[in-house]
Amino acid sequence: MRAEQIVLLLAAALAAGWVDAVVGGGGLLQLPALLLAGLSPVEAMATNKTASIFGTASAAVTFAMKTKLDRAVVVPAGITAVGFAGAGAASAALLAAEVLKPLVMVVLLAVAAFVTLRPAFGLAPDPRLRTRARVAAAIAASGVFIAFYDGILGPGTGTFLLIAFTSILGLDFVHASASAKIINTGTNLGALLVFGTRGQVVWALGLAMAACNVAGAQLGARMALRRGAGFVRAVLLCVVSALVLRLGYDQFSG
């Protein structure tokens, strides 16, 4: 691998850490960069997880120190996410990505429309939504379904977690992002355990990118905490739009 390729990968990891810390979706930057550098799709996914888990975990720690997390949700969901993301990674070869991508694009378009048409969504918490049934639904959505999706495909996982916590539990975007980082750390760990045991991780490259991912994640987490829910909402709409364009290009470019 040439020196300029390594520099580009490290820059992509730095930017991806920032995006992941704010709203998720850093894989938009890291995965294409790894593929362009010559890694196989599976190696790219596995190495992406190596870099992402460090950045996501560091952002989770920063958010946890500055915000109050709903431990009754994030602890069981985070533990469950490890297993289901691992199951998704183990099943990745059984389901073609082309099956999921159109569905993911539809969901993302619905998310973009919903957030755009409801300007106040996620800007302030709504504690009335936190019922036992909704807590159970949030744990299932984040720790089971989204976790499995992260293992089997991945793009937009952090964004889906953010929307799940905001819409189901009535959290504002900043606290939803904080909770999402805990679960996303679990999903990255579960998938990485599977990829690692199968020898699909390029460890030297992944760990080098991890250092840059952590730096970006710290910048993103601190900026989100400082600038608040309105800033997170704006970045969310940009990332969702980019995700739709990226998935659409992958789907229809042949």
Spell out the long-range contacts of 126-134 with Cβ–Cβ below 8 A and sequence spacing 24 or more. Answer: 126/170, 127/170, 128/170, 129/168, 129/169, 129/170, 130/70, 130/169, 130/170, 134/168, 134/169
- Residue 237, Cβ density class (10 Å: 0-12 exposed, 13-18 middle, ≥19 buried): middle
Q: How far apart are CA 169 and CA 128, in angstroms?
A: 8
Domain boundaries of the chain, sorted by first residue? 3-252
The per-residue pLDDT string of the chain (254 residues; one tens digit each, 9 = 90 and over) reads: 788 999 999 999 999 999 999 998 888 888 889 988 889 888 988 999 999 999 999 999 999 999 999 999 999 999 999 999 999 998 876 766 566 667 777 777 887 888 888 888 888 999 999 999 999 999 999 999 999 999 988 878 988 999 999 999 999 999 999 999 999 999 999 999 999 999 999 999 999 999 999 999 999 999 999 999 999 999 999 988 888 888 788 777 75
- Residue 109 neighbours by CB under 8 Å, 6+ apart: 244
Q: What's the predicted TM-score (pTM) here?
A: 0.89
If we measure between CA atoms, which residue out of 98, 76, 122 comes closest to residue 229? 122
State residue 58's pLDDT score.
Answer: 96
- Residue 87 neighbours by CB under 8 Å, 6+ apart: 148, 151, 190
SS3 assignment, position 250: helix
